[in-house]
A = this chain, B = another copy of it.
């Protein structure tokens, strides 16, 4: 009979081994997205897949199950917010999910998705829907089969939502999204009935080097630690955690659009500061990561939108920016610039959308993937349904597949279900958390206007970052806001900001 201490030690040892395999993959993926020469691509997918499979086999081993069962009484004897209790609870939850899906099925789906992804990469630039249609049907079949392993459930999309936003179900998302849409649609109408902002001024020539230098200076001020991270260029920006001492971000630069690199940098730095701020004692365990897709996105959105598109922020940084780009911005006032980076206009591409219309893009995708899983929508009908929703909700119709149903990687690089709701949950939560921060520290906007972010960063670290996945998203939201997820704070923020910008 071994002691709880020994069992816990052995569990942590095994989790560390699995973590090392996963973090090796994080480096391999980062390398693939940055510096890998073209000739390396064919073999890289196989290496990633081998390491994933070894990690999955090791995590679903019977020994991990026995250790978790053995540790159950010990976990229950601890206070709910004890670190070990949280670790055992979270690992058990992940384990129960992982063992439900047969390893062979995981391998089959991984290979299928890798093929769909390759097909999409070729097909998207040439608008070739026909060549991805049948593969997507197979993906849908796999998605429904995957959900089946988690039966019984209230709704077939629930298992997927649970994986990324634990604690929420389809019915919850629908309620929140319905409420948000009702408030959002009139606001979009009100804004778009006004003279639109002129964003041609941020589409002038902005050379790459000062763009990168400016973005890096800003996130350094915000609190991103370059001793424990770095920024590189890639095609599709992302953030990746190697460990608490190494959290990297990636951006991309368009020399004819200021908005691309800068807001990507700040967005990814928002994700990264969350990861850099997690208690380093959690390294090597499942606690060392953001607690849900929604909460993670809330941190990127806080810095990108609430801070990075605020009037206070640009009061401080615009003079410096103007100095760095005298040709592009010499004749542009701070007000004109601030309006340009906050232009609201219904558009076709989600990732380029402004913070008001963005959520409408997300809702379209959420509704469509839920309908696909339910069987009330067929893959053949997906492009038509997509275009119909864009016409109804945003008043514009995609002229082709690549700016329509084929624009996002999610369905072509994963299963259907659970892929999109986190973006809008993140927007909602960013406003809720920021209200709480402001309540505790009303001086935050004034500090921002001086280029100081210490109070906000410290508050986020103390209330959110440090905990990693120790608390579930609902627990964390409860702790920070005293309640659950809410629509009102985001709407207050948007009405306040855009009311002023557009004199509504």
Interface on A for B, CB 8 Å cutoff? 16-17, 20-21, 23-25, 27-28, 30-31, 35-43, 46-47, 50-51, 54, 225-230, 232, 242-246, 248, 283
Residues of the B chain whose Cβ atoms lie less than 8 Å from the Cβ of A40: 228, 242-243, 245-246
Smallest beta-carbon distance A72→chain B, Å:
27
Smallest beta-carbon distance A106→chain B, Å:
16
Residues of the B chain whose Cβ atoms lie less than 8 Å from the Cβ of A248: 37
Smallest beta-carbon distance A459→chain B, Å:
23
CA distance A232 to B227 in the complex (A): 20
Contact of A31 among B25, B31, B54, B226 (CB under 8 A): B31
Nearest B residue to A46 via CB reads B20
Residues of the B chain whose Cβ atoms lie less than 8 Å from the Cβ of A30: 31
Contact of A246 among B39, B51, B230 (CB under 8 A): B39
Contact of A245 among B39, B50, B227, B244 (CB under 8 A): B39
Q: Are A35 and B228 in contact (CB under 8 A)?
A: no
Residues of the B chain whose Cβ atoms lie less than 8 Å from the Cβ of A27: 27-28, 31
How many copies of this chain sit in the oligomeric assembly? 2
Q: Are A37 and B245 in contact (CB under 8 A)?
A: yes
Residues of the B chain whose Cβ atoms lie less than 8 Å from the Cβ of A226: 37
Residues of the B chain whose Cβ atoms lie less than 8 Å from the Cβ of A31: 27, 30-31
Q: Are A39 and B227 in contact (CB under 8 A)?
A: yes
Residues of the B chain whose Cβ atoms lie less than 8 Å from the Cβ of A43: 23, 242-243, 245-246, 283
Q: List 17 A-B contacts (CB under 8 A).
A: A20-B51, A24-B25, A24-B28, A27-B27, A27-B28, A30-B31, A31-B31, A35-B232, A37-B227, A37-B246, A38-B227, A38-B228, A38-B245, A39-B244, A39-B245, A40-B242, A54-B54
| Among A16, A37, A39, A242, residue most surrounded by chain B Cβ atoms (within 10 Å) | A39
Q: Are A245 and B35 in contact (CB under 8 A)?
A: no
Q: Are B35 and A47 in contact (CB under 8 A)?
A: no
Q: Are B23 and A229 in contact (CB under 8 A)?
A: no
Contact of A37 among B36, B38, B228 (CB under 8 A): B228
Q: What would 5 more interface pairs be, CB under 8 Å, given A24-B28, A30-B31, A37-B230?
A: A27-B28, A37-B246, A40-B245, A40-B246, A43-B245
Residues of the B chain whose Cβ atoms lie less than 8 Å from the Cβ of A47: 20, 23-24
Q: Are A246 and B36 in contact (CB under 8 A)?
A: yes
Residues of the B chain whose Cβ atoms lie less than 8 Å from the Cβ of A50: 16-17, 20-21
Nearest B residue to A248 via CB reads B37
CA distance A24 to B49 in the complex (A): 11
Nearest B residue to A38 via CB reads B227
CA distance A382 to B275 in the complex (A): 48
CA distance A50 to B20 in the complex (A): 7
Enumerate the 10 nearest inter-chain pairs by beta-carbon distance, A residue then B residue, closest first.
A39-B245, A40-B246, A39-B228, A20-B50, A43-B243, A20-B47, A24-B24, A37-B230, A40-B245, A39-B227
Residues of the B chain whose Cβ atoms lie less than 8 Å from the Cβ of A42: 245
| Among A31, A225, A226, A227, residue most surrounded by chain B Cβ atoms (within 10 Å) | A31
Q: Are B242 and A35 in contact (CB under 8 A)?
A: no
Smallest beta-carbon distance A229→chain B, Å:
6
Smallest beta-carbon distance A167→chain B, Å:
30
CA distance A472 to B229 in the complex (A): 44
CA distance A225 to B31 in the complex (A): 19
Smallest beta-carbon distance A278→chain B, Å:
13
Nearest B residue to A18 via CB reads B50
Nearest B residue to A54 via CB reads B54
CA distance A226 to B54 in the complex (A): 32
CA distance A25 to B25 in the complex (A): 10
CA distance A484 to B245 in the complex (A): 51
Residues of the B chain whose Cβ atoms lie less than 8 Å from the Cβ of A243: 40, 43
CA distance A495 to B473 in the complex (A): 76
Q: Are A245 and B41 in contact (CB under 8 A)?
A: yes
CA distance A37 to B248 in the complex (A): 9
CA distance A228 to B38 in the complex (A): 6
CA distance A43 to B241 in the complex (A): 12
| Among A21, A28, A37, residue most surrounded by chain B Cβ atoms (within 10 Å) | A37
Residues of the B chain whose Cβ atoms lie less than 8 Å from the Cβ of A36: 246
Nearest B residue to A229 via CB reads B37
Q: Are A51 and B24 in contact (CB under 8 A)?
A: yes
